[in-house]
Structure 1
Amino acid sequence: MGCPACGLEHGLPEADIPLADVPNLGKVSAGWLQQVGLRTFADLQAMGSVRAWLLIEALGIKPSLNLLYAMEGALHGSHWLEVKRQRKTELLTQLEASREQGLI
């Protein structure tokens, strides 16, 4: 049985897969990630979703929180709609803490 949100089977992609081929990430999102130096799924794993989102924002792009959830879902092998509310709250807390500390 597939994902309840989209019907597809999810799982962690191969480390060297290009970001444009990672489930949850489209060409635009992958392009933004490339602009901040991320090319592969392994790059995103190493950086994490919060830092990647902040770097995209620092480019002057206004990414939606859905991108944050999409990256987080991808990192855990799930559809972005399956990211639990508690995890979303944790991500937002990390995002705000990073902004307050000037961590980009």
Structure 2
Amino acid sequence: METDLSLAERRIRRTTIAGVALLALIAAVVSFRHMHALCLRHGEDRLAAVLIPLAVDGLIVVASMLSCWPTGTAPAAASWPGACSWSAASPALARMWPWPSPV
């Protein structure tokens, strides 16, 4: 299948993959640094300040990959990791962004 592509098509494909990978790397670094600083500023210890951004960004990656799965073909167990990750991350996120006080 790959042999049917012309040289130009292969170059376009490689350039696209490299561009997406570079942008994803930049976004990951900026996101991690921002959330890490935010966690430290709000009183989280150093370990939590590292794990929270990894958990949040990891959840986004997993959810994005599952959304790319063709409709109706995802395995039944595929929704469990995301649900468990969100359940584990929710208390930490609630502490970082509490509801505003009505007073």
Report the TM-score, using the length of structure 2 for normalisation. 0.33
Relative to its length, the structure with more helix (as a share) is 2
Q: TM-score, normalised to structure 1's length?
A: 0.33
Q: Which has the higher contact order (CA 8 A, sep 6+)?
A: 1
Larger radius of gyration: 2
